[in-house]
Chains A and B, each alone.
Chain A
Amino acid sequence: MRELTYLAAIREALIEEMTDDDAVILLGQDIRANLYGTAGFLDMFPEERIRDLPTSETACVGAAVGAAMTGLRPVVDMGSASFSFVALDQFISEVSKIHYMSAGRLKVPVTYRIPLMYNGGVGVQHSDRPYPMFMQMPGLKLICPTTASDAKAMMKAAIRDDDPVIVFEDTYNWSSRGPVADPPAPAPIGTAAIVREGDDVTVVGIGRTVAFALAAAGELADAGVSAEVIDLRSLAPIDWDTIFGSVEKTGRLVVADAAVSTCSAASEIAATVAEHRFEALRAPVRRVTSLPVHSPYTPALEREIYPDAGKITAAVRSVAKQASHGH
Chain B
Amino acid sequence: MMARMQPATDDIRSMVGMWRQMLRIRRFDEAASRLLRSGQMPGVLHLTTGQEAVVAGSSAAMGPDDLLIGTHRNHGYPIARGGDLGPLMAEVLGKATGVCQGRGGEMHLIDPSVGAFFSSAILGSGLPVAVGTALTSQLQRSGRVTLATFGDGASNEGAIHESMNLAAIWKLPIVFLCENNGYAVTVAASYAVSVHDIADRAAAYGMPGAVADGSDPVAVREAVGAARDRAGAGQGPSLVEAKTYRTVDHAENLPSQPYRPEEEVASWRERDPITSFRGRLLAAGHATAGELDKIEQEVGEEVAAAVEFACDSPFPAPAALWEHMYADPSLNRPAASLSWP
Is this pair of chains taken from one and the same complex?
A: yes
Q: Which residues of A are in contact with B by a Cβ distance under 8 Å?
A: 25, 48-49, 51, 53-54, 56, 58-72, 74, 89-90, 93-94, 98-107, 109, 138-139, 141, 161-163, 190, 237-238, 240-241, 244, 268, 271-272, 275-276
Shortest Cβ distance from residue A285 to the other chain B in the assembled complex, whole angstroms = 14
Q: Are A65 and B103 in contact (CB under 8 A)?
A: no
Provided the pairs A59-B165, A162-B328 are in contact, do residues A70 and B112 lie with their beta carbons within 8 angstroms?
Answer: no
Q: How far is the CA of A69 from the CA of B128 in the complex (A)?
A: 12
B6 at the interface (CB under 8 A from A): no
Within 8 A of A (CB), among B268-300: none
Q: How far is the CA of A72 from the CA of B137 in the complex (A)?
A: 10
Q: List 6 A-B residue pairs with CB atoms under 8 Å apart, sorted by A's residue number.
A: A56-B162, A59-B131, A62-B125, A65-B128, A93-B122, A105-B99
Q: How far is the CA of A304 from the CA of B331 in the complex (A)?
A: 39
Q: Which residues of B are in contact with A by a Cβ distance under 8 Å?
A: 67, 69, 99-104, 108, 110, 112, 117-118, 120, 122, 125-140, 146, 158-159, 162-163, 165-166, 169-170, 323-328, 331, 335-337, 340-341
Q: Contacts of B335 on A, CB cut-off 8 Å?
A: 237-238, 240
- Determine the main DSSP class of A at the interface with B: helix
Q: Are A102 and B104 in contact (CB under 8 A)?
A: yes
Q: Are B125 and A102 in contact (CB under 8 A)?
A: no
Given known contacts A59-B131, A62-B127, A67-B139, what 7 new A-B pairs fall within 8 Å (CB)? A59-B162, A100-B324, A103-B324, A106-B112, A238-B336, A276-B336, A276-B340
Q: Are B166 and A163 in contact (CB under 8 A)?
A: no
Q: Are A67 and B136 in contact (CB under 8 A)?
A: yes
Q: Contacts of B139 on A, CB cut-off 8 Å?
A: 25, 48-49, 67, 72
Q: Contacts of B137 on A, CB cut-off 8 Å?
A: 70
In-complex Cβ contact of B162 among A58, A68, A105 (8 A): A58
Q: Are A54 and B340 in contact (CB under 8 A)?
A: no
Q: Contacts of B140 on A, CB cut-off 8 Å?
A: 71
Q: Are A100 and B162 in contact (CB under 8 A)?
A: no
Q: Are B118 and A98 in contact (CB under 8 A)?
A: yes
Q: Are A59 and B133 in contact (CB under 8 A)?
A: no
Q: Contacts of A72 on B, CB cut-off 8 Å?
A: 135-136, 139
In-complex Cβ contact of B128 among A58, A103, A241, A276 (8 A): A58
Q: How far is the CA of A241 from the CA of B324 in the complex (A)?
A: 23
Q: Contacts of A69 on B, CB cut-off 8 Å?
A: 117-118, 129, 132-133
Q: Are A99 and B326 in contact (CB under 8 A)?
A: yes
Shortest Cβ distance from residue A49 to the other chain B in the assembled complex, whole angstroms = 7
Shortest Cβ distance from residue A77 to the other chain B in the assembled complex, whole angstroms = 16
Q: Are B327 and A90 in contact (CB under 8 A)?
A: no
Most buried by B among A48, A69, A70: A70
- What residue of chain A has the Cβ atom nearest to residue B137's Cβ? A70
Q: Are B100 and A105 in contact (CB under 8 A)?
A: yes
In-complex Cβ contact of A102 among B100, B130, B159 (8 A): B100
